[in-house]
Amino acid sequence: MLKFFTILLSSLLLISFLYAKENFSEMSTQELISIMGYVKKENVQEFKKELQSRVSSMSQSEKKTYEKNIKKIK
């Protein structure tokens, strides 16, 4: 069951990433965290700004993953 949800989330993430382009505000927080390190250099500033605006509303799990992956976007 967990494998199914992982595959589903990965698929949705890939699709949303391909179609969302630079509009990070339409992506979920989990999607943003998942693409940390994969954002094009020209979009990093906008990505960081959107991600930073969501930190205060992140769940503990999201914050933990965010803090683990933050070094990927520096």
Q: Which domain holds residue 40?
A: 2-73
User: Taking all residues of the chain, what is their mean pLDDT, rounded to a whole number?
Assistant: 85
Statement: the pTM of the whole predicted model exceeds 0.95: no
Give the chain's largest Cα–Cα span. 38
What are the pLDDT digits (tens) for 35-63?
A: 998 888 888 999 999 999 999 999 999 99
Give how many domains the chain has, as a whole number.
1
| Burial grade of 35 (CB within 10 A; 0-12, 13-18, 19 or more) | buried
Angle CA 13–22–47, to nearest 5: 80
Phi and psi (nearest 5°) for 35? -95, 5
